[in-house]
Amino acid sequence: MIPPPNVTGSLHMGHAFQDTIMDTLTRWKRMQGNNTLWQVGTDHAGIATQMLVERKIAAEEGKTRHDLGRDAFIDKVWEWKAESGGHITRQLRRMGASVDWSRERFTMDDGFYKAVQEVFVRLHEEKLIYRGKRLVNWDPTLHTAISDLEVENKEQQGSFWHFRYPLADGVKTADGKDYVVVATTRPETLLGDTGVAVNPEDARYASLVGKFIELPLVGRRIPVVADEHADMEKGSGCVKITPAHDFNDYEVGKRQNHLLINVFSKDATILEKPKSSILKASPSPTKMPACLPSTPN
């Protein structure tokens, strides 16, 4: 099986290199009298293709996919596939790849994607795969999740914002304060906090573990938990936990059985009414008692 190239452009040197190796091995086995098949195909690369087509119609027509409507936009995507996918297969032919062109496939072919769906359903029924709540990289423009490979990480000069989180029920710190100070670079996620973590070795806050805090602005009671994620040497040693909006906090939330409280809309604006759901540690696929249904937020 040739790893299907995405229909988002042209083949590059990496494709040529790996295809040459596969072609050599296939021809060698064929010369030895083996019944060989080097399967050829292309991949729809849905998100990347959508992004390219959106840019194309914006540049040529000054329109968005919403201006075109679903059916017309899908037609544009298929036009792009015919143009780009055809270019890729022409490149393979020029390279002399000894694939079986009569068996050429596309990942959106009826038989192809139905076979993939069948496999996923079978694995699910056999409890070898399961659904669960996960954090994703969300694109607020395309309104879709994207992979880690499609994320551009850029360093920015940010700021530390310091907040006083008032302790509930008359509890005070070892030095007599009725609050703890939490520093964060993401003040907008405060609305989704489910706890404040302190290091289990930090004597300053040992008496607060298991006690509660009244979350500023919201007034929701959230617990003080002991977790090694909190760095005693960083800031005040207290760290806010927002499992729905930070990958490290997500892991802390699983360990502490916290809720997931999503405070952002699909457009990355603050929700008027946040969405919450139970966050549980992920079951092991080999010891899974049951599949975990979920609806992505």
Determine the pLDDT at residue 216: 92
Specify the fold of 13-131: Rossmann fold (3.40.50)
| Strand-pair category, 195-198 with 238-241 | antiparallel
Determine the pLDDT at residue 53: 87
Instruction: Say which amino acid occupies 162.
Output: H
Query: Residue 266 has which token pair?
Result: 């699909």
* Per-residue 3-state assignment (H helix, E strand, C coil) for 44-57: CCHHHHHHHHHHHH
H/E stretch holding 9 reads: none
Q: Note if the pTM is more than 0.75.
A: no
The CATH class for the domain spanning 161-278 reads alpha beta
Tally of CA atoms within 13 A in the half-sphere of 19 that contains its CB: 24
What's the CA gap between 280 and 277, in Å, rounded?
10
208 backbone dihedrals φ, ψ, rounded to 5°: -90, -15
Residue 211's nearest CA partner among 259, 244, 248, 178 is 178
Residue 213's nearest CA partner among 258, 274, 170, 162 is 170
Is 212 in contact with 168 (CB distance < 8 Å)? yes
Determine the pLDDT at residue 281: 55
Query: Residue 161 has which token pair?
Result: 């914002």
For residue 125, pLDDT beyond 70: yes
What's the CA gap between 115 and 108, in Å, rounded?
11
For residue 130, pLDDT beyond 70: yes
Domain range list for the chain: 13-131, 161-278
The residue ranking higher by pLDDT, 176 or 84, is 176
